[in-house]
Structure 1
Amino acid sequence: MRRFTLIGATALSLQPASAFAQANELVLYCSVGEEWCRAQSEAFTRETGINVLMTRKSSGETFAQIKAEEGQPRGDVWWGGTGDPHLQAAQEGLTEEYRSPLLADLQPWAVAQAETSGYKTVGIYAGALGYGYNSTMVTENPPACWSDLLDARFVDDIQVANPNSSGTSYTMLATMVQLMGEDEAFAYLAQLHANISQYTQSGAAPIRAAATGETAVGIVFMHDAVAEAVGGAPIVTVAPCEGTGYEVGSMSLILGGPNPDAAKIWYDWALSPAAQEIGATAKSFQVPSNSNAATPPEAPKLIDIKLIDYDFARFGSSEVRSALLARWDAEIGILPK
C-alpha cells in the first residue's frame, strides 16, 4: 500500500487507483539541469513509490533520441527543455495526446502550448533568453544589447551552445530570425562567430564558463545567469535592449512508452504547485506554469523584459526547425575557429 504525502495528494488523486496498482517504474528523459532532474525524480519516488530511471540530456539531444527510438520507445515522459522540439515531436507523431485535469490551473502561455500541439505537450515553466557577463572581466561599458556582443573587445570571449543539441541556442536562432529577418539574422550570427570561443553542447554551460572566468559572456536563458549570481559568481544578467525571445519549457508523453500508467501519474503530479516549486530548491529560477505555484523571488520578471511575440507554432514546426538548423550548419557551423 503506497502512502502519499499531503503535498502531493491532490495531484496524485487525479489518477484512478488501478493506475497505481500497475505502475512500478518510470523512464524519464529530463532536459533541465541535472540537480533539478534529480530532485524532481527523487520527490516523485518518495511520494508514489514508483522508481524513476532518469536520463538527463539537452533538448535537441533528447528529441534526436526519441526520434531514433520511434516505433520502439524506451522512454515514458520527456520532461523539461524548450518547447520548440516538443512541438516538433508532437507534429511528427512521437508523443501522444493527454489532457490533464490540472490544465485549468495553468498560465495562459502553458495552455497555449498544449493547444498548439493538439494537447501532445504542455508548458511547465517559462524563461526569457538573454546573457550574462562576468563583472570582473567586463568592467567598463557593460553590454546591454545584442548588438553590443559584436564588439571587437569580445573576440574569442563569448560562449553559446550549438542549436542542434541545445534548445537554448535554437531559441536564440529563432529569436534572431524573428527580430531581424532570416538573412539579417544569419549575417549577425556570422559576425558574432568571430567572438565565439566555443559552441557548447549544453545550453547552460556558457554561463558556468563565465562564472569561472573561462569566458567573459555566456548567452543563456536569464534564469541560468541568475542561478550563477545567486551562487556567488560575479555574473550580471542582461535582457537585451532590442527585445528577446523566451521559452515555454514543456512536458510530453512519449507515444507507446513502456509504462503508460506511471507516465500519466508523473504528468499530473508534475503540473501540481508543490511539484513545480521543487525547481527553486534546486537553484532553478524559471516561472512555473501552475498559477497557484509560488514564483521564486529571484526569477527574472517577464513583465519587465521586452519580449517578442514568439511564434511557437512556426518555429516548433518540423519544416522550419529543420531548415534553420540545416542553414546554421551550412553557414555558421562550418566556419573556422
Structure 2
Amino acid sequence: MRRVLGLSAIALLPALPAAAQGQLNLYCAATIEWCTPIARGFERETGIRVTLNQKSTGEMLAQLRAEARNPRGDVWWGGTGDPHVAAGEEGLTLPYESPRIAELHDWAQAQWRQTEGRTVGVYASVLGFGFNTELIARRNLPAPRCWADLVNPIYRGEIQMANPNSSGTAYIVIATLVQMMGEEPAFDYLKRLHGSINAYPRSGTAPITAVARGETALSISFVHNAAEEAAAGFPVGHAVPCEGTGYEIGSMSIIRGARNLANAQRFYHWALSAEAQITASSEAKKLQTMANRRVPLTDGAPNMATARIIDYDNARFGASAERRRLLARWDREVGALPR
C-alpha cells in the first residue's frame, strides 16, 4: 500500500527545535512500523524535518527509475539489497563513505565495497518459513522443515509467497533457489510450488501477516517476521530450511540528484550508529540482526550464526539485467500458470 506521510505535519512527532535544520525526503522500503521511528528518531536528533514515502522494495526501485530525470527523494532506507544494488548499477544512487563503515558487520561492509560505496547494509535476516501452529494442527499438517517439504501435495493451496515483481523478499526466494539448485531445477521447483500457492500478494510481509491472522497456513518469509508475530502473541512458528537458505541485507542508498544532499549524508551517518539502530529497532519491535556490531541481538531474534546460509551472490543477483531476466522468466513460466 502506498503511504506518503509528512510526519511533522500529522503530529506523529514532537515539536521541532526552534532552529530547524532544513528537510529530508526519506524513501523507506521497510514496513511503516519501522519507517516511522527511523524518521522520528532522526528528526528528534537533528531538528531536520522528514517527509516519509513508504513502499515495497520493488515499487520503490520503480519510483526511482521513473524519477531519474527529476529526483524527489534524498535517501532510500530499508528493503532488500538486490534492488539497491540494481539502482546503483543504473546510476540512480551515489557513492558515499561514512566514518562508521568500520563499525559494521562484515556482510554490511562487503555490500558497500561490492557496490563501490553506492549502498550499505543496515540489517540482515534469514529466509525461511512461517506457519500458523493452530491451523496446521487443526488441518493435521506437519510443520515444514525443508524446501522439499513445500511441494508435498498435502500443502496444496496452503502457502503464500509474495509476488517477486513488487517484493524484494520473493525475488530473494528465486535467487536463493537458483544458487542452491541451479537455474533449471530451481524453476522446475517453482512450477511445482505454484500448485501449493493460494496468493502472491504485493508485499513481502503480507504472507506472514496472513499466517498470523489465520488466513493461510504457511508462508515463505524472513524468519524475523515470523518471530515478531509470535512475540506479538500470534500462534506463529518458523523454520530455516534444512538444505540451506539465502538471506536479505536490508540496505541504504543516497539518491543521485538529492535536493538535500548534506542532510542525506547526515542521515546516512546517523542511521549507521549503534544508538540509532538500537532505538529504532526497539521502538519498532524488530528482530533483525542490525549492521552495527555494537547492537546486541534482541531477545527472541533468530540467530543468523546458527543458520545454514548460502554464500549469496549479491553482485550477480543484484545486477539489473539478471534481475530483469529472472523476473521475466518467473512471469512467463510460473506467474502465468493457472491455479
TM (norm. structure 1) is 0.92
Kindly provide the amino acid, as one letter, of the partner of residue 290 in structure 2: P
Q: How does 1:249-288 map to 2 (within 5 A)?
A: 249-277=250-278, 278-288=280-290
User: For 2:166 and 2:177, how far apart are their aligned partners in 1?
Assistant: 18
User: For 2:143 and 2:301, how far apart are their aligned partners in 1?
Assistant: 22
Q: How does 1:163-312 map to 2 (within 5 A)?
A: 163-277=164-278, 278-312=280-314
User: For 2:60 and 2:167, how far apart are their aligned partners in 1?
Assistant: 10
Kindly provide the amino acid, as one letter, of the partner of residue 38 in structure 1: T
Per the alignment, residue 324 of structure 1 pairs with 326
C-alpha contact (below 8 Å) 1:175/1:244 kept by paired residues = yes
User: For 1:202 and 1:110, how far apart are their aligned partners in 2?
Assistant: 24
Q: Identity rate of aligned residues, in percent?
A: 50
Provide Cα deviations, 1:205-234, integer angstroms capped at 9, x if missing partner: 101101111000011111001000001111
User: For 1:249 and 1:51, how far apart are their aligned partners in 2?
Assistant: 24
Per the alignment, residue 86 of structure 2 pairs with 88
User: For 1:53 and 1:35, how far apart are their aligned partners in 2?
Assistant: 15
Secondary structure class of the residue paired with 1:161: coil
Per the alignment, residue 72 of structure 2 pairs with 74
User: For 2:52 and 2:285, how far apart are their aligned partners in 1?
Assistant: 19
| From 111, 114, 120, the counterpart of 2:112 | 114
User: For 2:85 and 2:27, how far apart are their aligned partners in 1?
Assistant: 16
Cα-Cα RMSD: 1.2
User: For 2:282 and 2:155, how far apart are their aligned partners in 1?
Assistant: 32
C-alpha contact (below 8 Å) 1:22/1:261 kept by paired residues = no
Secondary structure class of the residue paired with 1:291: coil
C-alpha contact (below 8 Å) 2:169/2:221 kept by paired residues = yes
Per the alignment, residue 101 of structure 1 pairs with 99
User: For 1:303 and 1:105, how far apart are their aligned partners in 2?
Assistant: 18
Secondary structure class of the residue paired with 2:216: coil
Where does the alignment leave 5 or more consecutive residues of structure 1 unmatched? 1-20
User: For 1:226 and 1:332, how far apart are their aligned partners in 2?
Assistant: 29
Provide Cα deviations, 1:24-68, integer angstroms capped at 9, x if missing partner: 111111011111101111111111111111011111110110011
Provide Cα deviations, 1:244-293, integer angstroms capped at 9, x if missing partner: 00011100000011111110110000000011112132121110111112
Q: In terms of mean alpha carbon deviation, does 280-289 or 199-208 score higher?
A: 280-289
1:294 Cα deviation after fit: 2.2
C-alpha contact (below 8 Å) 1:23/1:259 kept by paired residues = no
Secondary structure class of the residue paired with 1:327: helix
Tell whether 2:37 aligns with 1:39: yes
Kindly provide the amino acid, as one letter, of the partner of residue 328 in structure 1: W
Secondary structure class of the residue paired with 1:297: coil
Secondary structure class of the residue paired with 1:248: strand
C-alpha contact (below 8 Å) 2:21/2:49 kept by paired residues = no
Kindly provide the amino acid, as one letter, of the partner of residue 70 in structure 1: A
C-alpha contact (below 8 Å) 2:57/2:83 kept by paired residues = yes
Secondary structure class of the residue paired with 2:34: helix
User: For 2:287 and 2:20, how far apart are their aligned partners in 1?
Assistant: 34
User: For 1:54 and 1:165, how far apart are their aligned partners in 2?
Assistant: 19
Tell whether 2:149 aligns with 1:151: no
Per the alignment, residue 14 of structure 1 pairs with none
Per the alignment, residue 4 of structure 2 pairs with none
C-alpha contact (below 8 Å) 1:211/1:235 kept by paired residues = yes
User: For 2:305 and 2:292, how far apart are their aligned partners in 1?
Assistant: 17
User: For 2:218 and 2:295, how far apart are their aligned partners in 1?
Assistant: 32
User: For 1:257 and 1:228, how far apart are their aligned partners in 2?
Assistant: 36
Q: In terms of mean alpha carbon deviation, does 292-301 or 282-291 score higher?
A: 292-301
User: For 2:142 and 2:126, how far apart are their aligned partners in 1?
Assistant: 23
Runs of 4+ with deviation above 6 angstroms: none
Per the alignment, residue 16 of structure 2 pairs with none
C-alpha contact (below 8 Å) 1:23/1:261 kept by paired residues = no
1:103 Cα deviation after fit: 0.6
C-alpha contact (below 8 Å) 1:132/1:220 kept by paired residues = yes
1:23 Cα deviation after fit: 4.4
User: For 1:153 and 1:235, how far apart are their aligned partners in 2?
Assistant: 19
Kindly provide the amino acid, as one letter, of the partner of residue 320 in structure 2: S
Kindly provide the amino acid, as one letter, of the partner of residue 226 in structure 2: A
Aligned length: 317
User: For 1:106 and 1:181, how far apart are their aligned partners in 2?
Assistant: 32
